[in-house]
Structure 1
Amino acid sequence: MLDATACIDTPTSADEVQKLVAEAAAEGRRLEIVGGGTKRGIGGPVRADAVLSLAGLDKLVDYAPEELVLTAQPGIRLADLERLVAAEGQMLPFEPPHLGGLLGEPGEATLGGTLAANLSGPRRVRAGAARDHLLGFEAVNGRGERFKAGGKVVKNVTGYDLSKLMCGSWGTLAVMTEVTIKVLPAPRTEMTLLFFGLDDRRAAQAMGRALNSACEVSGAAHLPTSAAQRPPLGADLAVTAIRLEGFEASVASRLQALVRLLQGLGAIQQLNAAHSAEFWAQVREVDAFAADPRPLWRLSLPPANGWQVPGVIVGDIIQDWGGGLVWLLSDAEPQSLRAAVRALGGHATLYRGDGPAFEPLTGPLAALTARVKAAFDPLDILNPGRMVPA
């Protein structure tokens, strides 16, 4: 574990980052890479000698609203970035979660940390994941060498797609010093349909029909009774929600089509734009599970299989992405839990609790991952132990 007296470096430029990493590589010192620190507890203990904080790299480099492209340093806070683009009538398309309340860590979520964890919110079902919106980046690898990949235009096909490799690497491959992302116009309005009292299977069927329709659904989630009854929602019955976004006339037309498509599922309640935004913020931040002390798992599954989780694992769930993302509170033994999730075609990541956070890798995938790590960080000085036990 990191010693309490260890040095904390907060560079303010890419040159300083390169110097610090190069010195660490030369001296054999290991570095813990952090942004806002909100997701610091996810993963194994980092066996580091010093902390390299990107909090000082928090500047907006370039923003061209007319081109739908934004370049920033990785330490820029998500909240500041969201306010900035909202003032131009735009949004971060992948609707990134902050997760501060859920994980209980101090600090504020940053753009770099969000991309490093590849975190996406409910709109992923329509807009894609965080990695799909990272156009390019500049970084320093574990040798202390600066490099860049991608570019600052949407149509960029030069070289390898390293942007997607960085997303989900949790700071173990390189230290990003600048990132360029796509932004999109914010929808003029949104509305959400709520269905009450559906069991998990019927909810999955309803979400699947909606997502596979021509209604252009931008959010589909199911909170079983055990989750819906918790604050802040406090509903008496299970809640299944389907969101539509866009121009007012388009949303109204698609809403009518969706009601016809899903008629027969019981009473329907419509949420206006303000209440819809509030509801999906609660889903995105997993507010219903914030106060529960049990281990919290994030399951990635084929959407058609998400509803089956309670049948094989004892615990409480929230389904997002039409069932493709399942948040699970469970005291189940981790190895058997992971085996059950694999049997459903998915994998599990422990977000809160004791034990290995990431799915253990074996065979060719483990060998490939080791080769990628060796290519970027051969001395294993960047976040050692976070994804793979040291």
Structure 2
Amino acid sequence: MAELFKPDSEAALAELIRGRFNTVAPLKIAGGGTRPVGNPVRAADILSTEKLSGITLYEPGALTLVAQAGTPLQTIVDALASEDQHLPFEPADYRALLGTEGVSTIGGVIAAGVSGPRRMQAGSARDSLIGVRFVSGEGEAIKNGGRVMKNVTGYDLVKLMCGSHGTLGVLTEVSFKLLPRPRATGVVLVEGLDDRTAITILARALGSPFDVTGAAHLQKGMDGNPVTMIRCEGLPESVNYRTGRLKEMLAPLLPPQAQLAIESDPEKTAAGWRWVRDVEPFAGREGSIWRLSVKPSDGPDVVARISGKLESQAVYDWGGGLIWLNTATPDDEAASLIRSAVDGHGGHATLFRRQADGKGEADAFHPEAPRIAAISQNLRRQFDPAGILNPGLMARAVEQA
């Protein structure tokens, strides 16, 4: 029978992992269980960070926050909001998209490297992360960055841990730099554009001096029609000026059928960007969800090539550099077609949510080039020599000798 472990301190976590290392007993690492992305983990027993919870340091004047890994994300969002601050990278909530429940934790956000629409302007989760504490696969507690600045490994562990999905170590504490929360939001909305025209418009907006913090295009918006969204944030007077100038700049570039407007209502703008951030157009829809990363200007070509071979719908974020794709095509068939399309443009594709029937052997993560795969494998062997932390999650093949 599978066991569930919930250590309540870093020391208890380290002791548990040391015991598992000595017996080569694998563990499935879990935060809030809201993002089950990846291949099936070859472990029955679960290690939860749920009891490693709480904000351990918050200095609003220094724009710095430190929290234990199991701290609910909403707890952090609420604490920062009380001081008119926020996490710059705008972490998403994928529960509706993935059909999960539970509570998203800050450690899970970092382990999965979750970054929202503001990434292209304020940086990713990795860019806001300034320190980590974690326990390696040998049960050694390691700290790096932040207020401690201890790095005995020669690696930038802060960057390395972000997006490692618990395969290098179990996070126990994370430290962030923060930013003031914008006072106002304005969104330039363009309806009726095809993908290629929309991405061209987004590129023009991003290349302007008007400090765009969100640039997205949905093939089907809330009303079922294509909508292109350009966001500006900051002081009300500045937002009004910049959105007005963007509207003037873009109007001559639009086809006659396009409709151009500015939305500044706080509730409507917030709802619109949650729609993009959390990929709500695909929540509750059947089929698989793919996450594609390509050069923005290549996005429409990649989507066109894919849609010519399988029925799909796309949401573009990050000016077109991030593409969410929904398709009912079986995972193995879709994997071949989608990855062939992105490979031709130097991109990569992640199977973010599998078909409901769970059939198929497609790897969740894009196959790495042999040289990169060797580096990844060597890193995992260094931090988890017995291969007990989330084995198989990032690659179906056996990763440890």
The TM-score, its normalising length taken from structure 2, stands at 0.91
Determine which of 285, 297, 309 is the counterpart of 2:278.
Answer: 285
Is 1:247 the equivalent of 2:254? no
Runs (4+) of structure 1 exceeding 6 A deviation are 155-158
Residue range with higher mean Cα deviation, 302-311 or 70-79: 302-311
Determine which of 379, 386, 389 is the counterpart of 1:382.
Answer: 389
Determine which of 11, 19, 26 is the counterpart of 2:22.
Answer: 26
Is 1:38 the equivalent of 2:27? no
> Which residue is equivalent to 2:83?
88
User: SS of 2:66's equivalent?
Assistant: strand
CA distance in 1, matches of 2:83, 2:151: 28
Query: What amino acid does structure 2 have at the position aligned with 1:11?
Result: P
For residue 256 of structure 1, report the CA deviation from its aligned partner. 2.0
CA distance in 2, matches of 1:239, 1:70: 36
Give the aligned length: 377
Structure 1: stretches of 5+ with no match in the other structure: none
Q: Note the 1:180-329 alignment, pairs <5 A.
A: 180-224=175-219, 227-228=220-221, 233-235=222-224, 237-264=225-252, 265=254, 266-272=258-264, 273-314=266-307, 315-329=312-326
CA distance in 2, matches of 1:18, 1:156: 18
Query: What amino acid does structure 2 have at the position aligned with 1:325?
Result: L
Q: Note the 1:94-173 alignment, pairs <5 A.
A: 94-152=89-147, 160-173=155-168
Query: What amino acid does structure 1 have at the position aligned with 2:392?
Result: G
User: SS of 1:333's equivalent?
Assistant: helix
Query: What amino acid does structure 1 have at the position aligned with 2:231?
Result: R
Percent identity (aligned): 43
User: SS of 1:222's equivalent?
Assistant: strand
CA distance in 1, matches of 2:7, 2:162: 22
The TM-score, its normalising length taken from structure 1, stands at 0.94
8 Å contact kept, 2:99–2:284? no
User: SS of 1:138's equivalent?
Assistant: strand
Structure 2: stretches of 5+ with no match in the other structure: none
* Offset from partner CA, 1:27-86 (integer Å, 9 cap, x none): 11001110000112x111111141110011111111011111100011111112111101
CA distance in 2, matches of 1:156, 1:260: 51
* Offset from partner CA, 1:263-313 (integer Å, 9 cap, x none): 132431211132111100111011110121111000111111112233111
Query: What amino acid does structure 2 have at the position aligned with 1:32?
Result: K
8 Å contact kept, 1:91–1:185? yes
CA distance in 2, matches of 1:49, 1:294: 27
8 Å contact kept, 1:98–1:108? no
CA distance in 2, matches of 1:347, 1:131: 19
> Which residue is equivalent to 1:356?
363
8 Å contact kept, 1:29–1:49? no
* Offset from partner CA, 1:294-344 (integer Å, 9 cap, x none): 110001111111122331112110000000110001225312221111112
For residue 157 of structure 1, report the CA deviation from its aligned partner. 9.9
8 Å contact kept, 1:69–1:152? no
Query: What amino acid does structure 2 have at the position aligned with 1:371?
Result: N
User: SS of 2:135's equivalent?
Assistant: strand
CA distance in 2, matches of 1:292, 1:113: 24
